[in-house]
């Protein structure tokens, strides 16, 4: 079994074939056609109007919090506190994108006035450039964040903010919550006077694939497994008109602990690591899955003797079975030892610590350096800090990579340089779980972490996924979009100077 297949069934828990309901082909096509009809009026809506729509959606979701959280608790095994916090994050990011739209900087307005003395050797024409929405977007919802990465999650929020209608293929792990959330979003759109067709949902893998192939869809996003995401990416790429496909697939999120840090802060490191890899029963895409520690430290012993959270049920049976499959493959490997005291194969599973030599991790990367979506970690012991660099240089693309070190560690500079080539977010003496929704956040990375390493799916920069640049040459002021006229007050670059 290949590395990609090893993570195929455990992260999104969505084979498509077990969806409880499948949107009929005619209905799914009508939803896509409605999104296409809504594209022009939604894109033409002024920024004030779009801002109000996003805030209205957030208000409607907040007002339905009690009902939505109760449904989510029934369907996902997630607790009330977690679900309420995730819903707050969901409405926060809708309002944050509303602020971004109000500001207008996402349009990246650039104005070059005509210059007859342009040093290129020929006169420079009047050129004005801004970003326009791509058109209808297809969002494949995730299972592990039933609010924040689902029907009204970050992909939907950023696409709507960009001016793109959205069709969401719901996840079968929380169908009732998806329908209830969609009802609130639609009600908000009606209340705000939005064009019909700006948002809708479909169910079932067949409907999702058909929508992905529909010529009216101009971009798609996905959060899930490598195999599932890669299959959809290939469909998107092989269409008669290929479209951007923004897939977040798989990540191990390694943590590199220097010898000095292990000596000086062992207790702190163990406590932070346990809290991070057991958060949400290990079902975060940023869960640290491999911890590299010096062999002559007591970190493995401390991890073995530590107190862990009680076992918690995983999101759904498919994730449970996928987790168990990957765990069996790891524990049966001759180089891997079991260092925990819980039953790793129980349902629900207890937090599990496996150990291996860093040298074996390097030699057998495909078998050992893999995402195990659940409460299991692999602790790799090294003899020399040079092995940290070896591991950093051999790994594939990651969402995150963490360095736990001390000032003056000789390995820090080369380790950072190596990891910057492999991960989308580097952390210093912090833990990767908990992806803050901010202006500077980057949640992405080289393949197989994502299919598009230049783009984030979290934070305000996520809006760039659903925009494309258009330049206007020598147009009169009255014909130009308002954002490109000389009297615009938007943030802009004029003749090379930021205003």
Q: What is the pLDDT of residues 315-351, one digit of tens each?
A: 989 899 999 999 999 999 999 999 866 678 888 999 9
CA distance linking residue 158 with residue 444, whole number of Å: 15
Active site (annotated) includes residue 387? no
- Cβ proximity of 224 and 316 under 8 Å: no
pTM recorded for the entire structure: 0.94
Rounded Cα distance, 346 and 376, in Å:
12
pLDDT(264) > 50: yes
What is the band of 445 on the pLDDT scale with cuts at 50, 70, 90?
very high
The residue-averaged pLDDT of 7-12 equals: 45
Instruction: Report whether pLDDT(15) > 90.
Output: no
The least confident of 17-31, 90-104, 242-256, 430-444 is: 17-31
Do 8 and 174 contact (CB within 8 A), yes or no? no
Closest by CA position to 87, among listed 152, 31, 142: 152
The string of DSSP letters for 112-145 reads: E--BTT-TTSSPBPPEEEEEEE---EEEE--SS-
Average pLDDT rounded to a whole number, residues 86-104:
98
| pLDDT (average), residues 304-323 | 92
Please tell me the predicted confidence (pLDDT) of residue 19.
Answer: 66
Mean pLDDT of 49-71: 98
382 touches 294 (CB < 8 A): yes
Chain center to CA of 148? 10
Q: Please check the confidence at residue 16 and state whether its pLDDT lies above 50.
A: no
Average confidence (pLDDT) over 355-384: 97
Q: What is the pLDDT averaged over residues 401-426?
A: 98
Active site residue 164: no
Encoded tokens for 300? 């493995």
Complete domains list, the chain, with CATH? 3-249+451-474+477-484 (3.40.605.10), 255-428 (3.40.309.10)
Options 86, 164, 216, 248, the catalytic residue = 248
> For 161-192, what is each residue's pLDDT tens digit?
999 999 999 999 999 999 999 999 999 999 99
In tens, the pLDDT along 17-33 reads: 456 678 999 999 999 99
- On the question of pLDDT at 5 being above 80, the answer is no
Q: What is the pLDDT of residue 3?
A: 34
How confident is the prediction for the chain on average, in pLDDT?
94
Give the pLDDT of residue 20. 61
Token code pair at residue 319: 């994730």
What is the rounded average pLDDT of the residues 237-259? 98
Residue-wise burial string across 201-238, b where 16 or more C-beta atoms lie within 10 A, e elsewhere:
bbbbbbbbebbbebebbbbbbbbbbbbbbbbbbebbee
The per-residue pLDDT for 341 is: 61
Residues 6+ apart with CB under 8 A from 13: 143, 173, 315, 316, 317, 318, 319, 322
Which tops the pLDDT comparison, 14 or 408?
A: 408
Q: Is the pLDDT of residue 211 over 90?
A: yes
What letters, b where the CB count within 10 A reaches 16 and e where it falls short, cover 338-348? ebbeeebeeee
- Give the angle subtended at the CA of 377 by the CAs of 75 and 149, to the nearest 5°: 35
Contact 137, 466 (CB under 8 A): yes
Asked whether 429 and 264 are in contact (CB, 8 A), the reply is: no
- State how far the Cα of 361 lies from the Cα of 378, in Å rounded to an integer: 10
Of 86, 164, 216, 285, which residue is the catalytic one?
285
């Amino acid at each position: 079994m290949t590395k990609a297949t090893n993570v195929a069934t455990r992260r999104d828990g969505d084979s498509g074939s077990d969806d409880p309901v499948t949107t009929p082909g005619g209905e799914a096509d009508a939803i896509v056609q409605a999104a296409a009809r809504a594209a022009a009026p939604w894109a033409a809506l002024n920024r004030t109007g779009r801002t109000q729509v996003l805030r209205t959606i957030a208000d409607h979701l907040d007002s339905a919090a009690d009902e939505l959280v109760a449904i989510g608790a029934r369907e996902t095994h997630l607790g009330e506190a977690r679900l309420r916090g995730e819903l707050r994050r969901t409405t926060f990011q809708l309002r944050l994108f509303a602020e971004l739209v109000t500001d207008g900087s996402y349009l990246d307005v650039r104005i070059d006035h005509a210059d007859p003395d342009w040093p290129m050797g020929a006169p420079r024409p009047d050129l004005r450039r801004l970003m326009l929405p791509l058109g209808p977007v297809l969002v494949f919802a995730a299972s592990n964040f039933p609010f924040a990465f689902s029907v009204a999650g970050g992909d939907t929020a950023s696409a709507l903010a960009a001016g793109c209608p959205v069709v969401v293929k719901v996840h079968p792990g929380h169908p009732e919550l998806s329908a209830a959330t969609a009802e609130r979003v639609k009600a908000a759109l009606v209340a705000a006077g939005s064009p019909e067709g700006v948002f809708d949902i479909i169910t079932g893998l067949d409907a999702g694939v058909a929508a992905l192939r529909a010529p009216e869809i101009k971009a798609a996003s996905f959060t899930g497994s490598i195999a599932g995401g890669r299959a959809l990416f290939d469909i998107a790429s092989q269409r008669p008109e290929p479209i951007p496909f923004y897939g977040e697939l798989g990540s191990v999120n390694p943590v590199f602990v220097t010898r000095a840090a292990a000596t000086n802060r062992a207790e702190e490191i163990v406590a932070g690591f346990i809290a991070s890899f057991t958060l949400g029963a290990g079902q975060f895409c940023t869960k640290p899955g491999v911890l590299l520690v010096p062999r002559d430290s007591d970190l493995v012993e401390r991890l073995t003797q530590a107190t862990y959270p009680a076992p918690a049920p995983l999101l759904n049976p498919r994730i449970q079975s996928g987790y168990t499959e990957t765990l069996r493959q790891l524990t049966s490997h001759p180089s891997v030892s079991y260092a925990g005291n819980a039953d790793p194969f129980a349902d629900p599973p207890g937090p599990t610590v496996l150990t291996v030599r860093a040298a074996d991790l390097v030699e057998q990367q495909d078998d050992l350096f893999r995402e195990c979506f659940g409460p299991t970690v692999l602790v790799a012991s090294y003899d020399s800090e040079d092995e940290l660099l070896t591991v950093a240089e051999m790994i594939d693309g990651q969402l995150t990579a963490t360095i736990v070190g001390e000032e003056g560690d000789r390995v820090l500079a080369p380790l950072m340089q190596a990891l910057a080539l492999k991960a989308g977010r580097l952390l210093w003496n912090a833990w990767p779980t908990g992806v803050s929704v901010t202006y500077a956040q980057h949640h992405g990375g080289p393949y197989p972490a994502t299919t598009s390493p230049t783009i984030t799916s979290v934070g305000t920069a996520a809006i760039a996924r659903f925009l494309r640049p258009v330049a206007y040459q020598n147009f009169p002021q009255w014909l130009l979009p308002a954002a490109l006229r000389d009297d615009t007050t938007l943030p802009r670059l004029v003749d090379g100077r930021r205003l």
